[in-house]
Structure 1
Amino acid sequence: MVGVAGLFSYPVKGCAGMALGATELTERGLAHDRTFLIVDEDGAARTQRGQPQLARIHPDIDPDGRRLTLSAAGIESFALAIDVAAPRRTVTMFGHPYRAIDQGDAVAAWLTEAIGLPSRLVRVPPEHTRVTDGLVPGTSAFADSCPIHILSVASLAGLNGAITARGSDPVALNRFRPNIVVDGWDEPHTEDRACRLTIADTALGFAKLAIRCAVTLVDQRHGVRVGPEPLRALATYRRAAGGGVAFGAKFAVLRPGLLAVGDDVTVTEWDSGQKNAGITEGPPALVSPARFLPDWRRGGSPTAPGGPDCRYIP
């Protein structure tokens, strides 16, 4: 059977994720995913691309979304009553302006101490509108682009087979910060070929391949860049036609609902073109995923267009 093996939400963009047993899938993605953004004095987003130490901050958000707790080693935890009524301000992410709600001076002081750089915390406003790109458009909060990132156990196992064959240590699942981990597909990168899939009563539409960046070089436990894997291995067999390397797939939400670990995953429309179109061929031999994924297996932290014309959009 093909099913959901892991669900992960990242309430504060760039910070550690929360492993979930069940959650709501909204139009913007998993509940509370990337709802908050850390910015500098000028309102520009801080991410792990520039500040890998963000990974050491662990958010925990109440199910009702009213209280956020931030924790990090060497500093007392901070509990925040989330403000959705404060005046809006403009922030920028990858050069694009967005309206956001500043969460106040107290949490700003905590983040500044935890990160070591002047920082503030903002929240996406209820009236937030954003259209994400890809084959199936969607909307998201402060995610890089599409609301859902799916990665399969088979893809990670294949990649780690390639990495260990080169004499390097395997990389952890959390390097890729997926939202939904799927187990049960026999072949790596099957997520690339799913034009439309259902999980429980929800439905997702393929938007584009996930082009990987320097965040994958960050050790998510220690918040430091360790490179060169996994990008070095991916460059040998997962180069995308539009540049960069692809690993995992981005999806838009077609039908919201409830998700849980263990739910069946059913692909209702497959790509009719060549498997992994636009991707360098020569995937590595598959190895046992259990060798690389002990933590999350124990539950630890850390009507759409498609059909015959479904193609890859980098």
Structure 2
Amino acid sequence: RFEDGTASFLDIIALKHGFDVLERLTGGMEKIKQHTFVLAHYTYSVLSTLKYTNGAPVVRIYSDTDFSSPDVQGPIINFNVLDENGAVIGFSQVDKMAGLYNIHVRTGCFCNTGACQMHLDMSNEDIKRNLQAGHVCGDDMDIVDGHPTGSIRISFGYMSSFEDAQNFLKFIIETRLSKSNTEIPFQSSVAKLTAECVPGHHSSCNKADHLSPVPHVSNRELSGDPLMKSTGSWQPAETEAESIRAAVSETSVPPCRRSGEPITVTSIYLYPIKSCSAFEVTEWPVGNQGLLYDRNWMIVNQNGVCLTQKQEPRLCLVYPSIDLEQNVMVIEAEGMDPISVSLEENTGKETVISESKVCSHRVKTYDCGERIATWFSACLGRPCRLIRQSSDVNNKSHQKHTKGLASAAGISLSLVNEAQYLLINVASIRQLKEHISTRLEEPLEMEELIRRFRANIVISAPESFEEEEWAEISIGALRFQVVGPCSRCQIICINQQSGERNKEVLQSLSAARGRKTNFGIYLMNQPLRSSLPGVLSVGSRVLPVLKENTEIHPPTSSEEKCSG
């Protein structure tokens, strides 16, 4: 009665065959229930015993049962990770770090606002306050006014193994208790349940000896696999955290500028094709969507889904460049002949405008043709196409990014994720480099680190992270509003010269910045009223305005002064 069209009767017929296969491979749903519950019970038992050296728990588990019976508890564990002081670490932070260990977790409220309110002790007013702060389902706004907006969930299925459970525990231990050797007791009841419930002759449920837990599991034993060893933690243990926070507190986020040294633009990058290599320039025209031609194109798979370096790291080895005189974009890659694409937008009648999706917002695009699609498919070894944003329908920026701008209705975005520009500070990069150098045998070069953060504007300011205290900046005749920090993801773990991944950059950033992985600030500028485009140039002076709307000037004497 509620079907939209004809019911999928072919899928309904296939259900019986699916259940028959499960019965043949696993011994039936009852065996699956027992197998998955044992894994959940084991993980729950170990998680609930993990403690910091000060006795504080590492996680807070949300459950209506004590995991004593599979009849009332499914193979799901819902929890939040805590720091040594008992404060919740945001679920988006944990999710990003879990991805580095190839662990997939679900986060948020899981379409169950009532349970979320009950276990997180949120009132109706708290829910309203979160919505007013801009929190929506699926975003990474995990902490509002110091309180979590959701939690983390892990689930086990019939294909899950004891090694999967141990790998998850290794992840928690290595990132939270990397310096602890405390023995983690394992309850004997779990061993008994494993022996009774998990049959040894069902291969997909894993063999009994394969699933049998050891009597005691220590951090050292769980970290015994050299492939799983981490050189750093995303939220360091107590002693390391104190030293890092002390160092960061002296240099990050000063209440005002402590130096009268001028701030200048040192580098400008645009990324004509989303997630491909940077194109560095010394000066460049500015349009109403940001740097001219910045992220005007993107690559999609055969299903029309945007490809990024998260799925295809080799995109960083595709080098687009813009030739304004010849009015073409030239694309190069190793082993491929260069190919050019006209900068003129295809507005012919045969052009088909379609709708694509970038993060959570929809954009109008059109396909760039078979010739370039064949080139990219050969380059990446998978079917894909190049599409370009259509100028017919502007991609309006998010409301949270236009707040306070005089002409918000006229501001639009290209194919960027968040804002028109991303700015980073060389001094902040330098401080992060010091943290990373202690974790790597071969330290990263400054240029490599700068390129990993894929900024449009790189500045040289005297103080690290002072950019986070700015409300506005002026660069020449251009004026920008700061719309928030950039929360980093796994892409900064990719070497932009080779496409290789490592974990240390994101882990070091998280350790140095506390609970978040913020680095750099987003900027928006109002539409240009002049018919001539503005120009952004290397060497231009940057004049910031503090969040208190106090403009920063050089000190009037040899003594450093705070702007009033």
Per the alignment, residue 233 of structure 1 pairs with 508
Q: Distance in 2 between matches of 1:182 and 1:136?
A: 24
* Aligned counterpart for 1:144 among listed residues 410, 417, 425: 417
> Against the structure 1 CA distance between its residues 118 and 65, is the aligned structure 2 distance closer, same or farther, given a 3 Å change threshold?
farther
Alignment of 1:131-210 (within 5 A): 131-133=396-398, 134-136=400-402, 138-168=411-441, 169-170=443-444, 171-183=448-460, 185-210=461-486
Higher helix share goes to which structure? 2
Per the alignment, residue 246 of structure 1 pairs with 518
Q: Distance in 1 between matches of 2:338 and 2:368?
A: 16
> Against the structure 1 CA distance between its residues 136 and 155, is the aligned structure 2 distance closer, same or farther, given a 3 Å change threshold?
farther
Q: Distance in 1 between matches of 2:473 and 2:452?
A: 24
3-state SS, counterpart of residue 237 of structure 1: helix
Is structure 2 residue 360 aligned with structure 1 residue 99?
A: no
Q: Distance in 2 between matches of 1:128 and 1:10?
A: 21
Per the alignment, residue 260 of structure 1 pairs with 537
Decide whether the 8 Å contact of 2:368 with 2:386 is kept in 1: yes
Decide whether the 8 Å contact of 2:472 with 2:546 is kept in 1: yes
Q: Distance in 1 between matches of 2:374 and 2:475?
A: 41
Higher strand share goes to which structure? 1
> Against the structure 1 CA distance between its residues 108 and 96, is the aligned structure 2 distance closer, same or farther, given a 3 Å change threshold?
same
Deviates most, 169-178 or 36-45 = 169-178
Q: Distance in 2 between matches of 1:236 and 1:120?
A: 39
Q: Distance in 2 between matches of 1:90 and 1:42?
A: 12
What's the Cα RMSD here?
A: 2.0
Per the alignment, residue 15 of structure 2 pairs with none
Decide whether the 8 Å contact of 1:39 with 1:91 is kept in 2: no
> Against the structure 1 CA distance between its residues 129 and 199, is the aligned structure 2 distance closer, same or farther, given a 3 Å change threshold?
same
Per the alignment, residue 294 of structure 1 pairs with none
Unpaired segments ≥5 residues, structure 2: 1-261, 404-410, 529-533, 550-563
Q: Distance in 1 between matches of 2:434 and 2:346?
A: 46
Q: Distance in 1 between matches of 2:366 and 2:496?
A: 27
Could you report, residue by residue, the CA deviation over 1:215-274 in whole angstroms, capped at 9, with x for unpaired residues? 1011111123x211211111112245xxx410000011136421110110001x20249x
Residue type of the partner of 1:159? L
Residue type of the partner of 1:206? V
Decide whether the 8 Å contact of 2:275 with 2:315 is kept in 1: yes
How far did residue 66 of structure 1 move? 3.7
Q: How many residues align?
A: 268
3-state SS, counterpart of residue 378 of structure 2: helix
Decide whether the 8 Å contact of 2:316 with 2:497 is kept in 1: yes
Q: Distance in 2 between matches of 1:61 and 1:47?
A: 20
Per the alignment, residue 283 of structure 1 pairs with none
Alignment of 1:35-54 (within 5 A): 35-54=296-315
How far did residue 116 of structure 1 move? 1.3
Residue type of the partner of 1:30? L
Per the alignment, residue 393 of structure 2 pairs with 128
How far did residue 65 of structure 1 move? 8.5
Q: Distance in 2 between matches of 1:228 and 1:193?
A: 28
Decide whether the 8 Å contact of 1:136 with 1:251 is kept in 2: no
3-state SS, counterpart of residue 54 of structure 1: helix
Per the alignment, residue 285 of structure 1 pairs with none
Q: Distance in 1 between matches of 2:546 and 2:295?
A: 29
Unpaired segments ≥5 residues, structure 1: 274-307, 309-314
Flag the structure with more relative contact order, 1 or 2, with Cα contacts below 8 A and sequence separation at least 6: 1
Q: Distance in 1 between matches of 2:514 and 2:419?
A: 20
Could you report, residue by residue, the CA deviation over 1:12-57 in whole angstroms, capped at 9, with x for unpaired residues? 0010111111011222111110010111112110111111110000
How far did residue 136 of structure 1 move? 3.9
Residue type of the partner of 1:128? V
Residue type of the partner of 1:45? C
Residue type of the partner of 2:490? A
**Radius of gyration: which is bigger?**
2
TM (normalized to structure 2)? 0.46
